[in-house]
Chain A
Amino acid sequence: MDPYSSWTGARRSPWWGTWAIVRTGLNLILRRWIFWVLIGLGLLNFLFNFAFIYLKATIDVQNKTLGDFLNNYQVTGNGRAYADFMFAQASITALLLAFAGSMLIGGDYRQGGVVYYLSRRIERRHYVAGKLLLIASVVTIITTLPTLILFCEFGFLTSSFDYFLDHPRILAGILGYGAVLAVVQSLLLFAIAAWVPRTVPLVMTWLGMFVLVQALAEALRSINDNRTWLLLSIWGDMQRLGRWCFGTLDAAKTPTAEQCAAALTALCAACLVLILARVRAVEVVK
């Protein structure tokens, strides 16, 4: 055996521990091929849009008429196009999180990972913040970051620098929609995975929250002929709030952005309560 040596040094703030939790979780995701498949899907969508913007810029320069014709289809460069792109990316993220949730959060409750974390020099809040930031980072890397890159590409290739100055709402929309997706998905996944830690039940619950609840909301809307029932659909609420961020939401239709924001806030608050209750219930010493 090697001789044991002592360690002396200044200890860093516990918030560095939060960062370590985020980094470790991202490493765990990147080590599994199944996640690379889903990340690859997101990347394909991004590369398609990236190439299309380049193509459009080239056509605009070489054939103005064809460029104007393409502009009629609003495929890129405006709020609706970015919102649609983010929505597609968010769907892939939701699928990835459905499978990653069990590993990133559920495993902590199945195999005593929470005890491992909480017996160190961090408090419960650092652990919760680390896990939430981890999920939010995954969402941001797959949705917000590629959209920002497309926004910059479009600005630099298809127009003058004025594009950025003329469309501040688009930038705000990307950041706003990205924040909505990151906050809601991270809180929801943490809450579900903490209480339903096993992979299959977690995947079913997670997808049920989006797919089944969406179908239920649609059914209730058509039965009662009342669009307010659509508020039940978390996915729809996020989408409508995203469109509002981009300024492309039809204000005449209910539910309004305010109603969606209220519904999502209530959902996030409920998730937070569930998370704190679950984390508090963990006994470090049994």
Chain B
Amino acid sequence: MSLLELDHVSHFYGTERALNDVTLRIEPGTVGLIGQNGAGKSTLLKILMGLIQPTQGSSSVLGLDIKSQGMELRGRIGFMPETEALVPGMRGFDLVALAGELCGMPRKQALRRSHEVLSHLGLEEARYRRCEEYSVGMKQRLKLAAALVHDPELLLLDEPTAGLDPDGREAMLALLKSLAGRHGKSLILSTHLLGDVDRVCDQVLIVHRGVVRGVGRIGELRAQYRGRYRLQWRGDGVEFLNQLRTAGVTVHANGHADLAFVETPVDWNVRQFFELSCRCDLTLREVAPQEEDLEELYHRVIGNQD
């Protein structure tokens, strides 16, 4: 069963189009949802939670139809919002138990699970404190506990590391990785911090102006961008670089006399670097394939199609 399937989904707010003919299928796992402000991420999350129905198209999450089973779906999804989303005056323990009850759990089981989940997230000592007395990091973990209490198959996380200090961010990302890796939870992580996606997710969904511009495993998307190398040599490189340019290689100047980043044509063979270096009487010290980082990948995907 796929994690989510969207079939020609469009959504309009009045005459404004928020999502345009989105068709995709994502397998269970950890998915990073990235895009600029106003790209359509929030609309997509609302549709995935069954809070709004798409104007056109059909969609399902965890095999449940969003249009007819929206509420049932929220029983199998845990949502961690970006906003504070706490009930003032309530103790952390009660808040998490109430979240369980609101997801359909019987009270006794919700209480038991609340203890378990808070202990698991390291809030055992603070569970009887009022929500407003928690620090920012603790509030984030409390929200995660409330999203986890009913043991959902899928967690939707909206900026889970927002406002956290570096240590808190590390701890939160480690927690999310552990939930995905050790406990088999699928995650959809909506964030502007591409580093978080790189750390936690194995798939990425790039949305731009209501259109899905890229979807798939991050490794595979990166693989589409072969042909970039970091070259380092000993000797005079001017002639070597000229030869490379003549052969159709794009050379990115970087101010170093013995180092260059190059992009090769599609039919390029790595052996050709060495042949050219021999011709120029140059010793190549390093030919390192350059892997695109997520930020570059994102900008390439957005830029290519703009």
Residues of A near any B CB (own CB < 8 A): 1-9, 11-14, 16-17, 20-21, 24, 27-28, 31-32, 103, 107-108, 110-113, 115-123, 283-286
A31 touching B89, Cβ below 8 Å? yes
B146 contacts A121, C-beta separation under 8 Å: no
Per a CB cutoff under 8 Å, which of A9, A107, A110, A117 touches B105? A9
| Bound: A285/B182 CA distance, A | 28
Q: Are B116 and A285 in contact (CB under 8 A)?
A: no
Give the distance to chain A from B61, nearest Cβ to Cβ, in Å: 14
A257 to B109, CA, bound (A): 49
Contacts of B146 in A (CB 8 A): 116
Are A1 and B158 neighbours in the complex by a CB distance under 8 Å?
A: no
Residues on the A chain within 8 Å of B120, using CB: 1-4
Contact of B87 among A3, A14, A108 (CB under 8 A): A108
Q: Which of B73-81, B213-221, B255-263, B270-278 contacts A (4 or more CB under 8 A)?
A: B73-81
Question: When the two chains form their complex, are residues B42 and A120 in contact, meaning their CB atoms are under 8 A apart?
Answer: no
Tell me the residues in window 87-117 of chain B with beta carbons closer than 8 Å to chain A beta carbons: 87-90, 94-95, 98-99, 101-107, 109, 113, 116-117
Known: A113-B85, A118-B51. 6 other contacts (CB 8 A): A6-B183, A16-B104, A20-B101, A24-B87, A116-B81, A123-B71
Bound-complex Cα distance A108 to B83 (A): 12
- Nearest-neighbour CB distance to chain A for B266, whole angstroms, equals 41
Contact B89 A103 (CB under 8 A): yes
Write 6 A-B pairs (CB below 8 A) sorted by A numbering. Answer: A16-B101, A17-B103, A103-B88, A103-B89, A116-B81, A284-B51
- A-contacting residues of B (Cβ < 8 Å)? 42, 45-46, 49, 51, 71-72, 74-75, 79, 81-90, 94-95, 98-99, 101-107, 109, 113, 116-117, 119-122, 132, 146, 150-151, 158, 179, 182-183
CA of A245 to CA of B72, assembled, Å: 43
By beta carbon, the residue of chain B nearest A124 is B51
Q: Which residues of B contact A121 (CB under 8 A)?
A: 71-72, 74-75, 102-104, 150
User: Which one of B81, B106, B119 contacts A285 once the chains associate, using CB atoms below 8 Å?
Assistant: B81
**Most chain B Cβ neighbours within 10 Å, of A4, A6, A286:** A4
Complex formed: what's the CA distance from A7 to B103 in Å? Answer: 12
Q: 9 tightest A-B contacts by CB?
A: A11-B104, A120-B102, A7-B151, A121-B75, A112-B85, A20-B101, A107-B88, A119-B79, A2-B119
Question: With A16-B104, A285-B49 in contact, is A24–B71 under 8 Å at CB?
Answer: no
The answer on a CB contact under 8 Å between B74 and A120 is yes
Chain A residues with CB under 8 A of B102: 17, 20-21, 117, 120-122
Q: How many A-B residue pairs have CB under 8 A?
A: 129
Give A123's nearest chain B residue, CB to CB: B71
Chain A residue at smallest Cβ distance from B175: A1
Instruction: Provide the bound-state CA to CA distance between A32 and B84, in Å.
Output: 23
Smallest beta-carbon distance A101→chain B, Å: 13
Bound form: Cα–Cα A143–B299 in Å? 65
A17-B81 CB under 8 A given contacts A1-B122, A7-B113, A121-B72: no
Which of B94, B104, B179 interacts with A12 by CB under 8 Å? B104
Cβ contacts under 8 Å, B74 to chain A: 119-121
On whether the beta carbons of A11 and B103 are closer than 8 Å, the reply is yes
Minimum CB distance partner of A1 in chain B: B120
B90 pairs with A28, CB closer than 8 A: yes
- With A14-B104, A103-B88, A121-B71 as known contacts, state yes or no: A1 contacts B119, CB within 8 Å: yes
Contact B179 A4 (CB under 8 A): yes
Bound: A11/B158 CA distance, A: 25
Q: A193 CB to closest chain B CB, in angstroms?
A: 13
Most B CB within 10 A of own CB, among A8, A21, A122: A122
How far, in whole Å, are A112 and B90 apart by their CA atoms in the complex? Answer: 13
Contact of B150 among A5, A7, A284 (CB under 8 A): A7
B46 near A285: Cβ-Cβ < 8 Å? yes
Please tell me if the beta carbons of B98 and A24 are within 8 angstroms of each other in the complex.
Answer: yes
Contacts of A2 in B (CB 8 A): 116, 119-120
